[in-house]
Structure 1
Amino acid sequence: MEYDVVIVGGGPAGLSAAIRLKQLAAEKGAEIGVCVLEKGSEIGAHILSGAVMDPRALNELIPDWKEKGAPLNVEVTEDRFLFLSEKSAFKTPNWALPENFKNHGNYAISLSNVTRWLGTMAEALGVEIFPGFPAAEVLYREDGSVKGVATGNMGIGRDGEPTENFQLGMELHAKYTLFCQGARGHLGRQLSEKFQLNKDADPQVYGIGIKELWEIDPAKHKPGLVIHTAGWPLDTQTYGGSFLYHIDNNQVMIGFVVGLGYTNPYLSPFEEFQRYKTHPAIRSYLDGGKRVSYGARAITAGGLLSLPKLVFPGGALVGDDAGFLNASRIKGSHAAIKTGMLAAEAAFDAIQAGRQGDELAAYPESFKASWLHGELNRARNFKQWMSKGLYLGTLMVGIEQKVFGGNVPWTLHHQHRDHEMLKPASQCKPIEYPKPDGKLTFDRLSSVFISNTNHEENQPAHLTLKDAGVPVNVNLRTYAGPESRYCPAGVYEFVTGDEGGDRLVINAQNCVHCKTCDIKDPTQNIVWVTPEGGGGPNYSNM
């Protein structure tokens, strides 16, 4: 199938790019063929975020979004930032909060719902959207430029052989292909290696965000209240924090982010989140409530200095596929929308000029001239300072943001990738986590169940190993099997066989597509590839 632009990923970045392309075509009286491929069963199915949304980019893309029914219904009414110890909470006075922690004019939203709405806006403009079709392979022209993508074959059995339901994948060719797959997009990663897009950038660093949706006692519900915390249950040297957002319908979104540069292989981000909910300042909202949904997703946290080269012959990286999230504000959807618009404008102008397959140099140039670049530049040292520990990090971020407004003459750099940071288990102290009570705290499997995760069972595992011996011979022996702890979905478990030997079992059907294993595996032996289309979580109101 031939298009002018193929967009891989139906999240905020991809849909905003598609909408902007069609808007420009309508303004100029031109025709442009645009399609969006989405691996989830529907638009929004795989979208997970906090989320408090800055509407600045949406105001630019669709100025009348309110009239058009965008689900931004709960404006932020109050910000609270708490430092937690095990039993107490210290509230930062509002006058001391830097601007990046102030959310006046922003909205507490379900990003999956906003994305579904963007999908309807795109379809109304004539964008062709194909949910349930993962892009499995990048296609190249003879000159080496990107020609498009191929979707995965359907109906392949676990043994790798076609079943009676076999369906051949499609090739989609385009003048330009935009890759908008979110954090650690598997094709974005391949393109970065092929075109050496990261050679002048700092290493990208990540966090894992784990989230639950709760219905709480109406007497405790305060629509628009936004709470962030730092400190307990993490130690002061481990980067992380939490959010608790009061949305509408007596619901709260609660979540925990752990930087994936942590060093202790015994740490479990999932268990830390469960423990966090038992803090008196947090459980007071949840007691008597009911957990409705669960999910997890890796987020990029490296910021401006970790951005790769954005363009290559025939295409571009957009949104979190490049790493545009602003970790200091805990926001990325506005950056995804803005970069989607900028990439679309560059592609549209190139197509109108009769070009194809070259580098869209106008995209990185327009980013550098944009308000988004200024915002990310002011926050460029945030994660680097916070990686130096809670106290020093908080002090220096406070000085940079509160005193200097982010306009400082110094720049710090990331030195290491997250998978390089684990220490051998022999150098670390095991962490004892309490058993879940099934009311406030839960296990992984019951959590995955309410994420509505499903994969066709008779298909090859999409979590592959370069060397099947490494998990036991290296990861288990040296690092005490960290994959059984960093995965928030119970995909990886070490079992002892009848003859006493250990082996790794991969429960791929549990996978919520968070990409943490692809990032944190200390030997980089795990490679995430696309499962059959429509598999994975089906998030609602997340």
Structure 2
Amino acid sequence: MRESMEFDVVIVGAGPAGLSTACRLMQQAQENEQELTVCVVEKGSEVGAHILSGAVVETRALDELFPDWKEKGAPLNTAVTEDEVYLLKDPKQGTKVPNAFVPKTMHNQGNYIVSLGNLCRWLAEQAEELGVEVFPGFAASEVLFNEDGSVKGIATGDMGVTAEGEQGPNYMPGMELHAKYTIFSEGCRGHLGKQLISQFSLYKGSDAQHYGLGIKELWDIPAEQHKPGLVVHGSGWPLDKETSGGFFLYHTDNNQVVVGLIIDLNYKNPHLSPFDEFQRLKHHPVLSRHLKGGKRVSYGARAITKGGYNSLPKMTFPGGLLLGCDAGTLNFSKIKGTHTAMKSGMLAAEALFEALSNGDEGGKELERFNELFKDSWLYDELYRSRNFGPAMHKFGQLAGGAFNYIDQNWFGGRIPVTLHDNHPDHAQLAPADHYEPIKYPKPDGELSFDKLSSVFLSNTNHEEDQPCHLKLADADIPLKQNLKLFAEPAQRYCPAGVYEIVEDEAGQRFQINGQNCLHCKTCDIKDPAQNITWVTPEGMGGPNYPNM
């Protein structure tokens, strides 16, 4: 029998959306001299351990939440000083795009280069000072329901269950956290959010959701190469015309650079390896001149929800809300989701406080949130960027970029047409025999590296004797279907070497190295048979990003 605890509000996920919800709720409670009990559960070993983003942050939401954030010591130390955008033609050549031809949404004046993990650590400190209980190391593994079907809360995962599913010597049952309202802000492709979307048909009337895979490294570079505040974006090589995406390189503080590649997960070639595309990208002179002589100090990967306005699910359901990247509030035209996730949380807090202060006992659908959302700058911003992703998917990088330039710079995102892309990413792979296998160069150990040494830098760790958190609906599909049709793409789309086809005296077998998992969720998204489901491992498992 699990023990239970009662709260007014339970929040799943200590990211920007969840922590902003918690902070704004408690601010309102203090302003109105009311008592509220709010808790945040976070599966990472500490707040920020699983947070990975570029990140260039627009401070609009932070300015509203904590107008005195500078005085409070928020870790926004590097203001953007310069923007550069490149189109890479081949392994050697790249063209710098004149600033006048860059869509306005990609201009970064007034923004800051940050570690989003460190910003979340700071937000958690503010939340705790306001009276929020923050519980890191506890994975929300199950949604609990009331008899009427409304959400009752969540249960944290059991600890000490062996790989065979039995109670081990250190077994500890999970806790039930009951709440009047439960907020799900787990980030992209949240395990519980995915269940709620299905249970309550939240995508009804929306376009198919779309995703990208972001891979990122943190580098120490020589002081003479360091240009604090420089922001570099680009697209083109090494991605082919059927594969959309782009790179980023930011000069942050402490003689460090972050560099990464985002690949849209609607790509067609099953031989493509996002990890290896990123490794060879770093050899291009546009990027290598920033990295040469430096040392790579961290690595990570995370999927990105990028469908935008057209793909937003309904965010309300009886007893709860779906917020931030769990819903898909990222504005891909800006390549930014922090300020939008935070604002979604702040709007949720307003709706929640209004209901709770009027004696609401929970379990209802917070329609007030939908009203606040539609009257907000968040709705306006997402609406004006609704065509950005579909244009790139329909017309390609150049024609799509031209459309977006006209839409954003001439019409302010209000061009009188709405483009749609209703093709799910997992359904886009073509048969492997339609393409030649890609021969990626071997890593040189200076600019490019292998997967295992990269995973080592992510500080990823899982308790080995536990059930595998990567579930196959049908164990035969990887070899009998995916291997024959698509050369089993899980071997390549996973940026951590989790999936392997192993051959021994017994023949071929599909091996899952769950200990390597970065919790990026790419397998859950891209598997062409939708046969893989990512579920929460034991709390504290996964990467431990120090400064990402």
TM-score, normalisation: structure 1: 0.99
Deviations 1:91-130 (A, max 9, x none): 1111222211100000000000000000100011110011
Residues 238 and 387 of structure 1 are in contact (CA less than 8 Å); yes or no, is this contact kept in structure 2? no
CA distance in 2, matches of 1:41, 1:515: 18
* Structure 2 match to 1:43: 47
* Structure 1 match to 2:484: 477
Q: Please state how far the C-alpha of 1:497 moved relative to its aligned partner.
A: 2.4
Which of 138, 143, 157 pairs up with 1:152? 157
Residues 298 and 516 of structure 1 are in contact (CA less than 8 Å); yes or no, is this contact kept in structure 2? yes
Which of 289, 296, 299 pairs up with 1:291? 296
CA distance in 2, matches of 1:458, 1:58: 42
After TM superposition, where is structure 1 displaced by more than 4 Å over at least 4 residues in a row?
none
Which of 217, 228, 234 pairs up with 2:222? 217
For the residue of structure 2 that corresponds to 1:387, the secondary structure is: helix
Which of 519, 539, 543 pairs up with 1:537? 543
CA distance in 1, matches of 2:500, 2:514: 11
Deviations 1:448-487 (A, max 9, x none): 0000000000101100101110000011111001000000
Deviations 1:285-328 (A, max 9, x none): 11110001000000011000100001000000010000000011
Residues 41 and 535 of structure 1 are in contact (CA less than 8 Å); yes or no, is this contact kept in structure 2? yes
CA distance in 1, matches of 2:256, 2:221: 6
One-letter code aligned to 1:294 = Y
Residue 37 (structure 2) pairs with residue 3 (structure 1)? no
1:486-501 mapped onto 2 (5 Å cutoff):
486-499=493-506, 501=507
Residue 373 (structure 2) pairs with residue 367 (structure 1)? yes
Residue 211 (structure 2) pairs with residue 206 (structure 1)? yes
* Structure 1 match to 2:125: 120
One-letter code aligned to 2:487 = A
* Structure 2 match to 1:523: 529
CA distance in 1, matches of 2:80, 2:376: 26
Residues 11 and 44 of structure 1 are in contact (CA less than 8 Å); yes or no, is this contact kept in structure 2? yes
Residues 237 and 390 of structure 1 are in contact (CA less than 8 Å); yes or no, is this contact kept in structure 2? no
One-letter code aligned to 1:94 = N
Equivalent pairs counted in the alignment come to 541
For the residue of structure 2 that corresponds to 1:400, the secondary structure is: helix
**Relative to structure 2, which stretch is displaced further, 465-474 or 87-96?**
87-96
CA distance in 1, matches of 2:351, 2:315: 12
Residue 32 (structure 2) pairs with residue 28 (structure 1)? yes
* Structure 2 match to 1:143: 148
Which of 10, 14, 21 pairs up with 2:18? 14
One-letter code aligned to 1:267 = L
Deviations 1:42-74 (A, max 9, x none): 000000000000000000001100000000000
Residues 469 and 535 of structure 2 are in contact (CA less than 8 Å); yes or no, is this contact kept in structure 1? yes
Deviations 1:118-146 (A, max 9, x none): 01000111100110101000000011100
Residues 264 and 429 of structure 1 are in contact (CA less than 8 Å); yes or no, is this contact kept in structure 2? no
* Structure 1 match to 2:412: 405
One-letter code aligned to 1:426 = D
1:43-122 mapped onto 2 (5 Å cutoff):
43-86=47-90, 87-122=92-127
Deviations 1:420-454 (A, max 9, x none): 00011011221110011111100110000000000
Q: Please, which runs of 5 or more residues in structure 1 have no aligned partner?
A: none
Q: Please state how far the C-alpha of 1:357 moved relative to its aligned partner.
A: 0.6
Residue 307 (structure 2) pairs with residue 302 (structure 1)? yes
* Structure 1 match to 2:352: 347
Which of 242, 263, 267 pairs up with 1:262? 267
For the residue of structure 2 that corresponds to 1:341, the secondary structure is: helix
One-letter code aligned to 2:33 = G
* Structure 2 match to 1:433: 440
Residue 386 (structure 2) pairs with residue 380 (structure 1)? yes
Deviations 1:13-49 (A, max 9, x none): 1011000110010011100000000000000000000
For the residue of structure 2 that corresponds to 1:347, the secondary structure is: helix
CA distance in 2, matches of 1:102, 1:517: 33
One-letter code aligned to 1:321 = D
Residues 236 and 391 of structure 1 are in contact (CA less than 8 Å); yes or no, is this contact kept in structure 2? no
Deviations 1:370-398 (A, max 9, x none): 11111111110111111131121111111
Q: Please state how far the C-alpha of 1:399 moved relative to its aligned partner.
A: 1.3
For the residue of structure 1 that corresponds to 2:22, the secondary structure is: helix
Residues 242 and 268 of structure 2 are in contact (CA less than 8 Å); yes or no, is this contact kept in structure 1? no
Residue 180 (structure 2) pairs with residue 189 (structure 1)? no
Q: Please state how far the C-alpha of 1:249 moved relative to its aligned partner.
A: 0.7
Q: Please state how far the C-alpha of 1:237 moved relative to its aligned partner.
A: 2.4
One-letter code aligned to 1:47 = I
CA distance in 2, matches of 1:460, 1:506: 12
Q: Please state how far the C-alpha of 1:212 moved relative to its aligned partner.
A: 0.1
CA distance in 2, matches of 1:7, 1:352: 18
TM-score, normalisation: structure 2: 0.98
* Structure 2 match to 1:323: 328
CA distance in 2, matches of 1:348, 1:404: 37
CA distance in 1, matches of 2:370, 2:526: 29
Q: Please state how far the C-alpha of 1:358 moved relative to its aligned partner.
A: 0.3
Q: Please, which runs of 5 or more residues in structure 2 have no aligned partner?
A: none
For the residue of structure 1 that corresponds to 2:495, the secondary structure is: coil
For the residue of structure 1 that corresponds to 2:391, the secondary structure is: helix
For the residue of structure 1 that corresponds to 2:302, the secondary structure is: strand
For the residue of structure 1 that corresponds to 2:212, the secondary structure is: strand
One-letter code aligned to 1:440 = L
Residues 393 and 421 of structure 2 are in contact (CA less than 8 Å); yes or no, is this contact kept in structure 1? no
Q: Please state how far the C-alpha of 1:181 moved relative to its aligned partner.
A: 0.2
Between the aligned residues of both structures, percent identity stands at: 62
CA distance in 2, matches of 1:323, 1:95: 29
* Structure 1 match to 2:364: 358
* Structure 2 match to 1:311: 316
Which of 221, 229, 238 pairs up with 2:234? 229
CA distance in 1, matches of 2:249, 2:148: 50
One-letter code aligned to 2:314 = K
What RMSD over aligned residues (CA atoms) do the two structures have, in Å? 0.7
Residues 228 and 243 of structure 1 are in contact (CA less than 8 Å); yes or no, is this contact kept in structure 2? yes
